[in-house]
Amino acid sequence: MKSGSNLERVLAAGQFAVTAECGPPRGADPEKVLKKAEFVKGNVDACNVTDNQTSVVRMSSLAGCLLVRQSGTEPLLQMVVRDRNRIALQSDLLGASALGVRNLLCLSGDHQKFGDDPQAKNVFDIDSIQLIHLVKTMRDDGVFPSGEKLDGAPKFFIGCAVNPFADPFEIRVPRFKLKADAGADFVQTQCIYNMDTFTRYMEEAKKMGLHERVKILAGVTPLKSVGMAKFMNKMVAGIDIPEPVIKRLADEPKEKQAAKGIEMCIEQIQQLKEMEGIAGVHVMAIEWEEKLNEIIGGAGLLPRPVVDEGETER
């Protein structure tokens, strides 16, 4: 075990893993996080807490992680390189590990021009691939990147993110390989709607043996309406929603589109479960956490397994 986290144990035991996420509030009210965490509890193996997503100021990911854990769910810390230099990154990593956070997702972060404070200075002292390597070095070698010995190495199950749908397609899998080479243990993908493109992506990844090196969690997001589908397809970078998917929603009366979106998400999870190389799903029910139980249960993924360290694969 690299971290001993619940998510790591579930994946190491060969179980199909489930993660979700909680976006922290734009304020200091802990109840906003705890309410979302109650919907997550019992439905997942770990819960991401986002880090100032879309470059909008929110409660810190680490604070959110502690609140999620307080509610009874294992947290997964997201950390972006946009806002911190390498000194701050290392310091926050040590603090998170000291507080018992065992899962980490290393990200670049959306450019600040997309947020509510576009004149803020970004940092990008290192990129997300370098962050993965930095964490692996601290964890496995017990030293800082500077070469100085650590007084207690952090313990993290190291994750990364990939977007199979960004252009150009030809560099998507090679970029995934760079993250695997840097030390990623698992990956969560961007929301998948175009299964044909994702199948091609997985075929290329399997040719490189990446599915055997890194646990792949396929990202899914239930669509609430045809309006949401059209907006995401047009406005969200790296989202590819084929016309037949949009048409399935459009063919439903407006009041039934949310239920159809959940039905489609469940169908997709069941399809992904049968795909070679997929180790789990990351369910991003954006501000719709109350539907997680319906989606995950409907896909036949409840109850979640309880795995002791002795039960994992050697």
pLDDT (average), residues 232-250: 94
According to the model, what pLDDT value does residue 87 have?
Answer: 98
CATH number, residue 178: 3.20.20.220
CA distance 117 to 165: 28
Tell me: pLDDT of 264 over 70. Answer: yes
Q: Residue 115 domain-assigned?
A: yes
CA distance 255 to 55: 32
Q: Residue 263 domain-assigned?
A: yes
Question: Contact at 8 Å (CB) between 207 and 176?
Answer: no
Single-letter residue type at 200: R
Stated length of the chain: 314
Tell me: pLDDT of 309 over 80. Answer: no
According to the model, what pLDDT value does residue 110 have?
Answer: 87
According to the model, what pLDDT value does residue 165 have?
Answer: 97
- 48-105 pLDDT, tens digit each: 999 999 999 999 999 999 999 999 999 999 999 999 999 999 999 999 999 999 999 9
Residue 224's pLDDT band, with cuts at 50, 70 and 90, is very high
How many domains, the chain?
Answer: 1
Helix axes 86-98, 128-136, angle to 10 degrees: 50
According to the model, what pLDDT value does residue 238 have?
Answer: 85
According to the model, what pLDDT value does residue 114 have?
Answer: 85
Residue 314's pLDDT band, with cuts at 50, 70 and 90, is very low
- 137-166 pLDDT, tens digit each: 999 999 999 999 999 999 999 999 999 999
Global pTM reads 0.96
Q: What angle do CA 27, 223, 194 make, to 5 degrees?
A: 120
Q: Residue 296 domain-assigned?
A: yes
Average of per-residue pLDDT values in the chain: 96
According to the model, what pLDDT value does residue 308 have?
Answer: 87
CA distance 104 to 187: 11
Q: What is the DSSP letter of 305?
A: P
Question: Contact at 8 Å (CB) between 217 and 189?
Answer: yes
Q: Which pair of tokens denotes residue 161?
A: 């993110």
- 90-143 pLDDT, tens digit each: 999 999 999 999 999 999 998 888 889 999 999 999 999 999 999 999 999 999
Q: Residue 272 domain-assigned?
A: yes
- 195-221 pLDDT, tens digit each: 999 999 999 999 999 999 999 999 999
Question: Contact at 8 Å (CB) between 50 and 58?
Answer: yes
According to the model, what pLDDT value does residue 311 have?
Answer: 72
Locate tokens 């397994």: which residue? 305
Residue 79's domain comprises: 6-311
Q: Residue 1 domain-assigned?
A: no
According to the model, what pLDDT value does residue 66 have?
Answer: 98
Q: Residue 250 domain-assigned?
A: yes
Q: Residue 190 domain-assigned?
A: yes
Q: Residue 33 domain-assigned?
A: yes
Q: How far is residue 208 from each of residues 19, 120, 139, 280, measured CA to CA in Å?
A: 25, 40, 26, 20
